[in-house]
Structure 1
């Protein structure tokens, strides 16, 4: 009966996408999780251990997290070995087959199926996850942040490969509190559609559930640095405030909002036209795409006439995700916002939403001019793709999440972080 129901959902998903939009079908079977203290007494089987037969188990994660040189050198040798990297890789098609039996999939992948504490159940979170490739990375991120009391909206780029789309369909259909966005868009780097992807998930999350307290947006190459309980306690301590980068716009970025842009052949280009000043005499701030914000902030994004006018004005700017949320955060009357005075500016190092390390801010640990230590992994567009050698330092930071992690280049970093977080989450039950 369950398989028949699942088959119908799959068929409906395919029919709906053919008609041009995805409906939130997984919500039809949503049930509210009930926390039962007796259900958390025996969770030892959920711990990630070497018996899971992952290729990465040859590494000594305990030593890696302590920063021991020999263990880090071994990890570096492994990640430079193409045969090892191939042994870790899981093709997209695997997930379509593995999720035919959802119960077996969740059991094998050790997903939490009930809230781990009353405290967590009473403070549900809402997540937007924007992905376009690397299903394996997406699934491991999902497993790391999954809790049955939370709610998750997944946006798959409209131009993603069909194998990516169908694999993520298959995974999300196994969970009553995860759904695909109702209106997927073709995401363009540094252009408005990147914002629109999150906006569409925001609207779906806001309209689907009235219970969640905070919204967090992620991409497929993020990974948590904290357990769900630690995230909940951190957000409780905010007392309704938001946490995101919001600073004065640097002079070198002003051109982004003073010149009109348009999307041509999948890229963004200047039109040669100057833009009018922003509406309501709003001061444009600088920030990034990643935010931790209250439900009230999302309500303002969806309903406040000033915000709606700002978003309409920003649709032809360059990289609007790097000013929009930061600007809304300084608008008077927006729930959880801060005063527009410069003394309330917040950098990405202080905001807890995301730890992202830029090459030009790296340096020696002994140098007062460096913001953070040198990247021990690789770099993509001047951003550190974290390696195993970065974990010890990262886990001491206040951020909830970090970017980037890539299983294709350093699976050991993700594997050790997974083990660390799961062990920590289970130890919190005692």
Structure 2
């Protein structure tokens, strides 16, 4: 249930005490309110701190979390998980999450904490080849919550293979089987982080009014071989010279992202439709199917929440709200036409690992989640984002408005 307080001094005191205890504070002398405002001095100090501490920082281990969670109630309090719903509106609009992870237990916990509310539901898919101790630690964390669970079937995840799609399908089935009647489903991976509070996400989803938000465009020429040819799938993916049959759908293949915002009706439909069953089976030997399956399904006639397949309805990554990524080759001077400003962190496989200097820009975007983040690259970026979102969750505004310094 959502928390309500009577208009009485004692109740107001308890409210302030409860809210204060739920704050997340950066445990270093960094002014997060200035960092998220883009203040150059604060961002420089954060960057210097990261450089000084990077080689000294020791992340929490799987064993740490197994020890923490021996007492679940104490764990949830000490690790600052929200134990109450902030509003009736949020309580009446539960959201489902499918989270795919393979390592970095601390980053997983921080992602979960940042999106966790008691009314939502969370399915966590762990790469089946992850070490047993990692699986045990994830199980220990999820077991402390009635609305967080590990997927009932785990896949051996290999980049660009069908297993990435199957992981989300496994969570989709589990989420449909749950007692929580969630409205929308979002998917994420372990290096993602929200850039909106749960209340902001609910408001955004309500504006969609039953439509999905999935990147979906006419495919570039260099991507079309991904589904024109049969790929041999083993420990890696090798393209053969054998052309595939025509896909068993009435529209062309579309290209997009593996990340989506889709309705409960969409998810139910993909399990009920014979046509979609045949299409998914057809796509199993394509390359990186997660980047064209969801994009195509969201343009297929009759699919709940979908868009027409006319090119007028193409949705780029800048328009889709699912997940924000900075690709290195689209960065530059926005005043000269670049899609987004240069990465203030570092790059990994042409993708920006966000830094503290990216936060001001990130928090102005319409997307719900962003990736990638890495505490070993810029831990302050994650900490200030955590702190800012929690403050907005509790008080409904940015920290600077209330004079909160974060020190």
TM-score tier, shorter chain, comes to: over 0.9
- Indicate conservation of the 8 Å contact 2:54/2:377, yes or no: no
Q: Which runs of 4+ in 1 moved over 3 A?
A: 83-86
Aligned to 1:77: 48
Aligned to 1:390: 358
- 1: CA distance between counterparts of 2:257 and 2:361? 22
1:307-318 equivalence runs, <5 A:
307-318=276-287
Q: Secondary structure at the match of 2:56?
A: helix
- The alignment status of 1:424 with 2:392, answered yes or no, reads yes
- Indicate conservation of the 8 Å contact 2:328/2:350, yes or no: yes
- The alignment status of 1:375 with 2:335, answered yes or no, reads no
- Indicate conservation of the 8 Å contact 1:128/1:198, yes or no: yes
- Indicate conservation of the 8 Å contact 1:88/1:411, yes or no: no
- 1: CA distance between counterparts of 2:165 and 2:359? 30
Partner deviation per Cα, 1:198-245 (whole Å, 9 max, x = no partner): 000001001113510000000000000000000001101111011110
Aligned residue among 17, 21, 41 for 1:45:
21
- 2: CA distance between counterparts of 1:226 and 1:85? 31
Q: Report the CA distance shift for 1:47/1:85 in structure 2 as closer, same or farther (over 3 A).
A: farther
Aligned residue among 154, 171, 183 for 1:184:
154
Post-superposition offset of 1:62: 1.7
Q: Name the count of aligned residue pairs.
A: 389
- The alignment status of 1:225 with 2:195, answered yes or no, reads yes
Aligned to 2:176: 206
- Indicate conservation of the 8 Å contact 1:79/1:85, yes or no: no
Q: Secondary structure at the match of 2:275?
A: helix
Post-superposition offset of 1:272: 2.8
- 2: CA distance between counterparts of 1:99 and 1:89? 17
Aligned residue among 350, 354, 363 for 2:332:
363
- The alignment status of 1:175 with 2:142, answered yes or no, reads no
Give the TM-score normalised by structure 1: 0.88
Q: Report the CA distance shift for 1:428/1:385 in structure 2 as closer, same or farther (over 3 A).
A: same
Aligned to 1:413: 381
- 1: CA distance between counterparts of 2:237 and 2:172? 24
Post-superposition offset of 1:84: 4.2
Aligned residue among 280, 300, 303 for 2:272:
303
With 250-259 and 61-70 compared, the bigger mean Cα shift is at 61-70
Post-superposition offset of 1:169: 0.8
- 1: CA distance between counterparts of 2:94 and 2:389? 19
With 271-280 and 415-424 compared, the bigger mean Cα shift is at 271-280
- 2: CA distance between counterparts of 1:72 and 1:162? 39
- 2: CA distance between counterparts of 1:364 and 1:202? 40
Aligned to 2:296: 327
Aligned to 2:33: 62
Aligned residue among 220, 243, 250 for 2:220:
250
- 2: CA distance between counterparts of 1:400 and 1:376? 20
- 2: CA distance between counterparts of 1:111 and 1:187? 29
Aligned residue among 186, 194, 202 for 2:164:
194
Aligned to 1:10: none
- The alignment status of 1:102 with 2:69, answered yes or no, reads no
- Indicate conservation of the 8 Å contact 2:102/2:127, yes or no: yes
Aligned to 1:30: none
Post-superposition offset of 1:303: 1.4
Q: Secondary structure at the match of 1:110?
A: coil
Post-superposition offset of 1:88: 5.0
- The alignment status of 1:35 with 2:2, answered yes or no, reads yes
Q: Secondary structure at the match of 1:269?
A: strand
Q: Secondary structure at the match of 1:246?
A: strand
- Indicate conservation of the 8 Å contact 2:162/2:289, yes or no: yes
- 1: CA distance between counterparts of 2:133 and 2:316? 38
Q: Report the CA distance shift for 1:284/1:160 in structure 2 as closer, same or farther (over 3 A).
A: same
Once superposed, what is the RMSD of the aligned Cα atoms? 1.6
- Indicate conservation of the 8 Å contact 2:344/2:356, yes or no: yes
- 2: CA distance between counterparts of 1:355 and 1:306? 31
Partner deviation per Cα, 1:351-406 (whole Å, 9 max, x = no partner): 100101111111113212x1000001011110100000000011000000100011
- The alignment status of 1:241 with 2:211, answered yes or no, reads yes
- 2: CA distance between counterparts of 1:273 and 1:86? 52
Q: Secondary structure at the match of 1:399?
A: coil
Q: Secondary structure at the match of 1:408?
A: helix
- 1: CA distance between counterparts of 2:93 and 2:41? 42
- Indicate conservation of the 8 Å contact 1:224/1:401, yes or no: yes
- Unpaired runs of 5+ residues, structure 2, are 6-10, 403-407
With 279-288 and 135-144 compared, the bigger mean Cα shift is at 279-288
